[in-house]
Homo-oligomer: A and B are copies of this chain.
Amino acid sequence: MFDPVEKLKEFIRHPSVSTDPKCGDGMKGAQEFIAGLLRSLGFAVEVVATERHPIVFAERGGDPSWPHVVIYGHYDVQPADPLNLWKTPAFEPTIIGNRIYGRGAADNKGPLLTNVAAVAQALEANPKLPLRITFLIEGEEEMGSPSFPKFLERFAPKLRAADFVYLSDTALPNENQVVITAGLRGLALFDVHITGPKGDLHSGLHGGVLRNPIQALAEILATLHTPEGRVNVPGFYDAVLDVHPWEREELKKLGADEKAYAEFLGIDTFYPTPGFSPFESSRFQPTLEFNGIGGGYQGEGTKTVIPSKAFAKISCRLVPNQKSDAIKKMVMDAIRARTPKGVKLEFVDQHKGEAYVVVPPGRSNTPKDQSPVLARAFHATDQAVTEVWGRPPIYLREGGSVPIIADIKRVTGLDSVMFGLFLPEDNLHAPNESFNLDVMKKGIETTRRMLVALSKG
């Protein structure tokens, strides 16, 4: 049995930033690392080429009557910039206390290795474990999984033979409480580019004559929310469904503390969607966020120009029943209608993904035709969590997005059991990302027990 922490260090050392063309070696290294590890566990590994970064598809076959789990993960990571804010090198794993620091430690290399280690332990104890296991590990999650739909179409026949998907790419509220994620938000991303004069101009000679593109951009962006904090785009909320009462009950079990959360974020005032608490807002409501803005002179001191261009990067998080294409169109139409004369507007489309919801067995809105193996997987996970963590999991929708989960459901019909493993303080997508090694250890034991229980039928 390999040492999961040592393997995680090795995994982190590959700088696998999928959106950065300069990270080719890091992507290849991370992909070969995970493929090699699964091969060493006896899996039949296929490295499936795509237009960008290959998908690692690894199978442990068996009797068709055995339950069949597909374990999902991704070997790519977010960009590490701004590098100057990292206290340890982003791609040199560093253990401080019970945490391992490094880009990708929590998203998703640590949680993925947690599940690989659980499989390794289960198979070591019982090489004949009556369970079919397929690993599906992609390298484009952080760029919106552009190659995944084509892959899904091609592998749909194989995947349809499975029973459910199991993954750890969602969050825990704290290290004592597991959350099984019952839903994810969708995404709709694009950039807005505003062009004014054909080149940067001297703001003395020409100031007061024409519309400054930064001003035009600010005026457009400022229209996109109401003062109360709702997204101010016609139709934006039309498809949003009401929250089920059991979801609000589960959320209450979290015992989440607004004061502690505000302190963690470093803010003095929340700004949730009106009518929702902060914790409800990020889980049950859609958003329109500005992820970046730029234009003109950004250096030290001053440069008195009227810039030619300005841009903003926009992302919407969507909730079940909102459609990403429709939302993109609504927002773009609103921006188009609100763009003043004297500047040119262009959009650069980025990626998108649909929201997803899965209802555990025994709830008021559990589908009547829910697959028995999925129901058993939920029960096995619930029991393993209760044993290892000392209390049952909470079933909650969360604010993040794993768009391929909705794609898998649409193409193969498979639902997902999402066993969250990263913590709020893990700094996902930010400098000084880390992963809690105690959580990793308990996570391995939980998944191992779930697999063994599931195999026993």
Which of these binds chain B: A154-162, A310-318, A370-378, A444-452?
A: A310-318
Chain B: minimal CB distance from A290 (Å): 4
* CB within 8 Å of B: which A6-63 residues: 19
Taking CB atoms, residues of chain B closer than 8 Å to A290 are 212, 214-215, 218, 295-296, 307
Return the CB mask of A209-238 against B: 1 if under 8 Å, else 0: 111101101110111110001000000000
Taking CB atoms, residues of chain B closer than 8 Å to A278 are 208-210
A305 within 8 A of B: yes
Contact B289 A207 (CB under 8 A): yes
Q: Contacts A315-B302, A342-B267 known; A293 to B293 CB distance under 8 Å?
A: yes
Chain B: minimal CB distance from A119 (Å): 27
Contact B305 A430 (CB under 8 A): yes
Chain B: minimal CB distance from A104 (Å): 14
A291 within 8 A of B: yes
- Of the listed residues A218, A281, A299, A307, the one surrounded by the most CB atoms of chain B closer than 10 A to its CB is A218
CA distance A429 to B278 in the complex (A): 46
Chain B: minimal CB distance from A430 (Å): 5
Q: Contacts A209-B271, A209-B272, A399-B207 known; A202 to B341 CB distance under 8 Å?
A: no
CA distance A222 to B291 in the complex (A): 18
Contact B197 A301 (CB under 8 A): no
Taking CB atoms, residues of chain B closer than 8 Å to A312 are 214
Q: Give the number of copies in the complex.
A: 2
Return the CB mask of A170-199 against B: 1 if under 8 Å, else 0: 010000000000000101010000001111
A118 within 8 A of B: no
**A187 — nearest CB in chain B belongs to which residue?**
B304
Taking CB atoms, residues of chain B closer than 8 Å to A369 are none
Contact B267 A210 (CB under 8 A): yes
A434 within 8 A of B: no
A400 within 8 A of B: yes
CA distance A134 to B430 in the complex (A): 58
Contact A291 B203 (CB under 8 A): yes
Contact A265 B197 (CB under 8 A): yes
Taking CB atoms, residues of chain B closer than 8 Å to A287 are 203, 207-208
What is the number of residues of chain A that contact chain B, defined by CB distance less than 8 Å? 95
Contact B204 A401 (CB under 8 A): yes
Return the CB mask of A226-270 against B: 1 if under 8 Å, else 0: 000100000000000000000000000000000001000111111
Q: Contacts A294-B293, A297-B313 known; A143 to B302 CB distance under 8 Å?
A: yes
Taking CB atoms, residues of chain B closer than 8 Å to A293 are 214, 217-218, 293-296, 298, 310
**A209 — nearest CB in chain B belongs to which residue?**
B278
Contact A202 B430 (CB under 8 A): yes
CA distance A427 to B197 in the complex (A): 13
Contact A306 B292 (CB under 8 A): no
A282 within 8 A of B: yes
* CB within 8 Å of B: which A43-102 residues: 78-79, 81, 85
* CB within 8 Å of B: which A407-435 residues: 424, 427-431
A398 within 8 A of B: yes
CA distance A286 to B207 in the complex (A): 8
**A278 — nearest CB in chain B belongs to which residue?**
B209
Chain B: minimal CB distance from A220 (Å): 8
Taking CB atoms, residues of chain B closer than 8 Å to A302 are 19, 143-144, 189, 291, 313, 315, 350-351
CA distance A403 to B318 in the complex (A): 52
Taking CB atoms, residues of chain B closer than 8 Å to A292 are 214, 295-298, 303, 305, 307
**Would you mind naming 27 contact pairs between A and B with Cβ atoms under 8 Å apart?**
A19-B300, A196-B267, A201-B430, A203-B289, A204-B400, A205-B428, A208-B273, A208-B278, A209-B271, A209-B272, A210-B270, A210-B271, A210-B278, A217-B218, A218-B221, A218-B293, A219-B221, A221-B222, A222-B223, A266-B308, A289-B306, A291-B306, A292-B307, A293-B295, A296-B313, A298-B313, A303-B313
New contact pairs (7) apart from A197-B265, A268-B342, CB-CB < 8 Å? A144-B302, A198-B267, A201-B265, A204-B399, A207-B317, A215-B222, A218-B221
